[in-house]
Structure 1
Amino acid sequence: MKEKILFYFHDGGMTGATLSLFRLLKHSAILDIYDVHIYVPDQSSYLYEKLSKFQCKIHSFPRLEGKKNKIYELIVFYYYITKMIFNIKPTFIYGNTILSFDIILLSKALGYKTILHVHEGRNILNYFKFRVKLLGRLSDLIIFVSNSSYENFNKIVEVINKSKIISNGVEVINNDDTNKGVNNKIINLSIIGTINENKSQFKVIKVIKVINSIIIAQKSREIILNIYGSTKDYEYLNKMMMFIKENKLEKNIIFHGEESNIDKIYNNTDIVIVASKDESFGLVTIEAMSYGKPVISSNNEGTLDIIKDNFNGLIFNYNDFNRIIMLVNKLIFNPIEYNKIRENGFFSVRKKYLLKNIVSDWEDELITQSNN
């Protein structure tokens, strides 16, 4: 009889954390080696739909439904989690992100081994400092997506002897050598990620207003900013929409919502902008590089693990968004620079971030835990 593993997903949307663990499962032999059980809170989610095609058992019940009696909801939720664990009796339980605090806590209370996968950056780790301390002590193994995530976690609670750094990876390399330089009159910039203040979409929109006024005055080209991602902060979204309307930018700023077809995103993109204030790893960055798209990124810690400025990407200081204007102009009016950045980015991903090379390390860690 196969040993059992329970994977716990905090949400089923297309967040970086969810996508990275989903891709590891998809490309590994774990589904063949073990009897895999997966918890997903929402049956209508992207993740549930994808996992339903896999050889695994999916468990689904809501975490919190936002009703008035939150204490009652928590009691019901913990009852169902406990019942699920008792029914499965897994060899170990795998929590994806520090928001898996509840499953790690319950698992240890019930005597089960746990693995925690940390995707969060410095700001979130510091915000949940008490939770991080407990998770650091309770988890049997902690997997980090980057050196910066590990270092920031370890500053809060020491986990040197039970940690492993395994970066995110990309599934395919899709560099189109025929698309060199930006020769179109309409330039498509894309910013990809959940709509919230940390991703800084609003700051980029304000910059686009300035860029377009300069370029249109030169009667040369026009900039379109494509924004992909689900909305987590509707107040933030409404502020952006009001600014767009007041400045008559409706035809230059396009909100696409959550897009599961990655080819569609990057085929409609000339340059990717990563504007996050805080990131532990740049999943969008390596995806863009794998499609041969130059990346302009803020100097968040996750990006600095991947990009060497002016070699395989371009960096701006988070406190100096106006520098994006110069960097965009540098790429769209200089085909040599555009090609240098995109080609170096492509080869950087091929060398270090191919998923097929990362999966084996991840499998080894899981097998080691089940054998201990």
Structure 2
Amino acid sequence: MNYIFVHLLNDNSGSPRVLSDLVKNFPKKGRKVIFTNSCSGFLSSSDFDKFFCCFYYLSKYSILKLLLFVLNQVLVFTSVFGYIAYLKFKKEKVTVIINTLLPFGGALAAKLLGVKVIYYIHETYIKPDLLNTFLTFCSRITASRIVFVSKYVSSFHRKWSHGIPNDVIYNPLRSDLIKPERNSSIDFNARYILFVGTLKYAKGFDIFFKLAKAFPEKSFVAVINTSKRELDSFAKNEEVPDNLTFYRRPSNISEIYKNALFTLNLSRPQICIETFGLTLIESMSFGVPVIAPKYGGPLEIVNSKVGFLVEPEDTEQIEKIVFDVTELEWHRLSNDALIHSRNFSTTNYIRAMVKIL
């Protein structure tokens, strides 16, 4: 049996990370093959029997970005088509897993050759409108089965996915995160407010930055997934307060999580509704409660026992949570968060995935 995975952009974001965990813990015997753009992200060549690169990079210019995307999908289509045709000539079985809505070229190639196509959908809406319509149409005509990462994502795509067998399978905790014992020795008042994400406006980093400037008596830590150039540019152009520490793509994120008071997700719902919330379950796995938007995926994974659901731009509410929580209440939240995070274990994830592969 051959399992062919197709993913557009291999970087350090959520969708390649989740696919990487699936591949590392793959529950079926067979050859694992991937078509993606590079080896520079979570998807590692060591986890696959064959690793094919199809040229693509993410341009900041819209027209160039679209042209590069189309070129990449032409390459993906021809490459996947040729490889599947070769396997079918050898009378070998094939299943194709399309990670996100974007790699439609791989789905079309698989459909034309009559092999099973599983779409693994992490996202909701893709801009521009015409591209979104085209990608959902391709998914509709090619998918044998669909896996959604949350009920929110499933509901969002219900109109076009109606009639196609589908499942909601929550993302698992990162298998590469080292789980040290909870740091109970650190003084409660020494714990910091943590943000894990990007500098993008949609992700609400500016809200976190304002909170750090407004409350110099609290320590703030930002773990940022960005280039060194972008982070240096931000630090140069903004007056960074002394109580805010930056880490860019750190290798020791486990150590950073475990000393936090709260982990904040501040994505603006009018621009970016979180489809799941990987950093939230990661935080909880270290016994750190969370503060998250009361929209989308976080509604399914955060409750009053493990954290707080808020309007991200309501800084007064966030301030009240951070400053009013007692040490006793925090420890109760911490214990419940740790217990709750076990629902998202790799074991539970693989048990669910094996039923559909």
TM score, norm. by length of structure 1: 0.80
Give me the whole-angstrom Cα distance separating, in 2, the residues matched to 1:365 and 1:359: 10
Q: Matched residue pairs, number? A: 339
Show the counterpart of 1:291. Answer: 286
- Aligned to 1:168, the other structure's residue is in SS state coil
Distance in 2 of aligned mates of 1:355 and 1:255: 30
Aligned to 2:107: 104
**Over the residues paired in the alignment, what is the CA RMSD in angstroms?**
3.1
Could you tell me whether the CA contact under 8 Å between 1:12 and 1:45 is conserved in 2? Answer: yes
Q: Judging changes above 3 Å, is the alpha-carbon distance between structure 1 residues 105 and 211 closer, same or farther for their aligned structure 2 residues?
A: farther
The one-letter amino acid of 1:83's match is G
Q: Is the 8 A contact 1:120 1:149 kept in 2?
A: yes
Counterpart in the other structure of 1:219: none
Show the counterpart of 2:85: 86
The separation in 2 between residues aligned to 1:34 and 1:260, in whole angstroms, is 31
Using a 3 Å threshold, how does the CA distance of structure 1 residues 224 and 130 change in structure 2: closer, same or farther? same
Q: Is 2:344 the counterpart of 1:359? A: no
Structure 2 contact 76–106 (Cα < 8 Å) conserved: no
Q: Are the counterparts in 1 of residues 264 and 292 from structure 2 also a CA contact under 8 Å?
A: yes
Q: Give the secondary-structure state (helix, strand or coil) at the position aligned to 1:255.
A: strand
The residue number in structure 2 matching 1:218 is none
1:115 maps onto 2:107 in alignment: no
Q: Tell me whether 1:206 sits opposite 2:210 in the alignment.
A: yes
Query: 1:283-322: per-residue Cα shift (whole Å, max 9, x none)?
Result: 111111011111111223111101113x211121134233
* Uncovered stretches (5+) of structure 2, i.e. residues with no partner: none
Q: Which amino acid aligns with 1:94?
A: I
Following superposition, the deviation at residue 254 of structure 1 comes to 3.0
Q: Deviation string for 1:113-169 (max 9, x for gaps)? A: 211001114x44895244224313321100011111101110x41435410111111
Name which of 176, 181, 197 aligns with 1:176. Answer: 181
- Aligned partner of residue 301 in structure 2, secondary structure: coil
Counterparts of 1:180 and 1:330, CA distance in 2: 21
TM value normalised by structure 2: 0.83
Q: State the SS of the aligned residue for 1:58.
A: strand
Counterpart in 2 of 1:325? 319
CA distance in 2, matches of 1:81, 1:199: 34
Q: Secondary structure at the match of 2:355?
A: helix
Match of 1:370 in 2: none
Which residue does 2:245 correspond to in 1?
Answer: 254
Is the 1:97–1:119 Cα contact (8 Å) retained in structure 2? yes
C-alpha displacement of 1:343: 1.1
CA positional deviation for 1:6: 0.3
Paired residues for 1:42-81 under 5 Å: 42-48=38-44, 51-52=45-46, 54=47, 56-64=49-57, 70=68, 75-76=74-75, 78-81=77-80
Which of 316, 332, 335 matches 1:340?
332
Task: Measure the CA separation in 2 of the matches of 1:340 and 1:268.
Answer: 16
1:338 to partner: Cα distance: 1.1
The 1-side partners of 2:227 and 2:178 are apart by 29
Equivalent residues of 1:180, 1:335 under 8 A apart: no
Match for residue 188 of structure 1? Answer: 192
Determine which of 15, 19, 22 is the counterpart of 2:20. 22
1:95 corresponds to which of 87, 91, 98: 98
Cα deviation for residue 77 of structure 1 reads 5.3
**1:138 matched residue in structure 2:** 142
Shift of 1:183: 2.8
Contact 1:94 1:117 in 2 (8 A): yes
CA distance in 1, matches of 2:189, 2:331: 15
**How far did 1:189 drift?**
2.1
Q: CA distance change for structure 1 residues 65 and 270 in 2, over 3 Å: closer, same or farther?
A: closer
Contact map agreement 2:73 2:104 (CA 8 A) in 1: no
8 A contact 1:289–1:349 mirrored in 2:
yes
Paired amino acid for 2:320: M
Q: How does 1:244-283 map to 2 (within 5 A)?
A: 244-245=238-239, 248-249=240-241, 251-277=242-268, 278-283=273-278
What SS does the corresponding residue of 1:99 show, helix, strand or coil? coil
**1:162 aligned partner:** 165
Moved more, 314-323 or 271-280: 314-323
Residues 126, 180 of structure 1: alpha-carbon distance in 2 compared, 3 angstrom cutoff:
farther
CA distance in 1, matches of 2:164, 2:76: 33
Alpha-carbon distance between aligned partners in 1 of 2:350 and 2:72, rounded to the nearest angstrom: 37
